[in-house]
Chains A and B, each alone.
Chain A
Amino acid sequence: MAWRATWQFGLILVGVLLSGCGNASRMDDAPVPDLAVPEAGRAATLSLACSGCHGPAGGAIAGLENYSAEQLQSEMMRYKTEPEGNSVMHRMMRGYSHEDIEAIAAYLGAEQAE
């Protein structure tokens, strides 16, 4: 899908809120808000929950900064679909649709592009 291929989608809401913006250089321009892209808002709010546990603290819960969108999506889908899994992540991901998982992965994975 086109939006997945556009790393700006995940980079910042600003990027997608600039109407028709397709390249990073526009970000240096004065912002012209276009508030008609609600999908980016949902990807962003969905991802807020992740930061409750996944941070820079280190230890037994992985930070998310070193994973690509593809890796994140594949891991989240594995958690969602393993029927016998009973870890916190297994129990959690069963509550997310495939579309939401794709959106979170694109949003968080793209962050590394910065």
Chain B
Amino acid sequence: MSPLYHSRRQLLQGLAGAALLSQMALPALAQTRARLVVVGGGFGGASAAGAMKHLMPAASVTLVEASPHYYACPFSNLVIAGLRELDAQRFDYDGLTARGVEVVHDRAVDVDSIAHTVRLASGDQLAYDKLVLSPGIDFLWDAIEGYGREAVERMPHAWKAGGQTGLLRQKLEAMDDGGQVVMAIPPAPFRCPPGPYERASLIAHYLKAHKPRSRLLLLDAQDSFSKQPLFEQAWAEHYPDHLERYGAADFARVVSVDPDHMVLTTEFDDFRADVANVIPPQKAGEIAQRAGVADATGWCPIDPLSFASTLQTDIHVIGDATIAAPMPKSAFSANLQAKLCAVQIARVLGGLGPEPTILTNTCYSFISNDAAVSITGVYSNDAGRLQSVEGAGGLSPLNADPAIRTAEALQAETWFKTLTQAAFG
């Protein structure tokens, strides 16, 4: 029994989600001493680092992540609505360190794709044979006039979880009954397509329970949105007096804000807010621009088989930063793309080509404290792009028995545990 097999079995026992990966450690690839660097410690990057170390234990795998903790976005809308504590969203990187990943808490500030190096804020350089960028999103600060970095204290975005999540919650709790909450929703594409509407549902839930004379107004740059019939049914049923939405057809795209006077301006009117949540338009995380893997859209084109950048060699991009539609910018997508990317890198380093497969996405959105709805997608990647498999995927049923909504809320809990354990466990 070689040490490799021995450790493979040990890993099988100990790793969440690794059972499915454990079968794939190829001895030839396991011996590769390649230098593998991952930038970004979210669901994509943490999963990729763990999976690559697992598949190629002799390789050096380095994860670059500025923050010592990660606050998960999924379930963070429950925190905003007072239904969950922020601590439950917090994960660290000790699990990855224990699995042999070198975790460097520094900020990647530049990539030299010719020299194959990543420069860190400390001045250190990391050389790589393969680089995986999982930078998530950054905001387009100039897209809404008046909404710059200094505006986020008065008008939190709460679209990267952590302090902003807690801040939005505090503002809701401090608001007098009878106040108006206004949420600005950006045009697609953005992180977590159903996220604003889950948040709207849960804020309305909070208002109905704690501030019944208050209401939430959605100023939405989109006309149609993810899980729309399910959300609209839930709003009509649960929150008819607490939630109102205007869409792009109503000229409701927010074009400017005045944080000092708490005013949001659309294409046709001004709206005063007691609490404002401005979700700005987005692009791939800044390092993607520095690395030259983002195109004119601000997002990163990829080869759908391996998530290799189509713009630079030996760099892969996964997660929210990619152009992977119809696959959405979700934690589930990032985790699956990470695992697939790791396998394909291992295959390529072992002299095999990447090969087609089927990918999926599943995410749940809460419509109240104990009810959720889901969306499912199934995607092929063998035709030069990701495309939805016809006849598959879709939404939870409309007009469903409440037991179905409760069951999906319970499934969501397991989904969260499994996904976070796979990434950070």
| Chain B neighbourhood of A92, CB < 8 A | 360, 362, 376, 378, 392-393
The closest CB in chain B to the CB of A33 belongs to: B28
| Chain B neighbourhood of A86, CB < 8 A | 394, 396-397
- Judged by a CB distance under 8 angstroms, whether B24 is at the interface is yes
- Which of B84-92, B217-225, B271-279, B406-414 is found at the contact surface with chain A? B406-414
- B394 in contact with A65 (CB, 8 Å): no
- B414 in contact with A61 (CB, 8 Å): yes
**Chain A interface helix/strand/loop/mixed:** helix
Tally of contacts, chain A with chain B, CB under 8 A:
157
Bound Cα distance from A93 to B376, whole angstroms: 10
- Judged by a CB distance under 8 angstroms, whether A55 is at the interface is yes
Interface residues of B (CB under 8 A from A): 1-2, 5, 8-9, 12, 16-28, 332, 335-336, 339-340, 343, 347, 350-352, 355-360, 362, 374, 376, 378, 389, 391-394, 396-397, 407-408, 410-411, 413-415, 417-419, 421-422
- A95 in contact with B26 (CB, 8 Å): no
| Chain A neighbourhood of B360, CB < 8 A | 49, 52, 92, 95
- B418 in contact with A55 (CB, 8 Å): yes
The total of chain A residues at the interface (CB under 8 A) is 47
- B414 in contact with A52 (CB, 8 Å): no
* 7 pairs of A and B residues whose beta carbons are closest in the complex: A95-B378, A95-B392, A31-B27, A57-B417, A55-B418, A59-B414, A95-B389
- B392 in contact with A13 (CB, 8 Å): no
- B24 in contact with A59 (CB, 8 Å): no
Q: Provided the pairs A33-B27, A48-B343, A114-B9 are in contact, do residues A60 and B352 lie with their beta carbons within 8 angstroms? A: no
Q: Provided the pairs A27-B5, A61-B418, A95-B358 are in contact, do residues A52 and B23 lie with their beta carbons within 8 angstroms? A: no
A52-B335, A52-B422, A60-B413 known; 11 new pairs, CB 8 Å cut-off, are A33-B28, A42-B356, A48-B21, A48-B340, A49-B336, A56-B421, A60-B407, A88-B411, A91-B393, A94-B378, A96-B378
Q: Min CB distance, A32 to chain B, in Å?
A: 9
Q: Provided the pairs A12-B25, A92-B376 are in contact, do residues A56 and B340 lie with their beta carbons within 8 angstroms? A: no
Q: Provided the pairs A33-B28, A48-B21 are in contact, do residues A58 and B392 lie with their beta carbons within 8 angstroms? A: no
- Scan residues 39-83 of chain A and give those whose CB is less than 8 A from a CB of chain B: 41-42, 44-61, 64-65
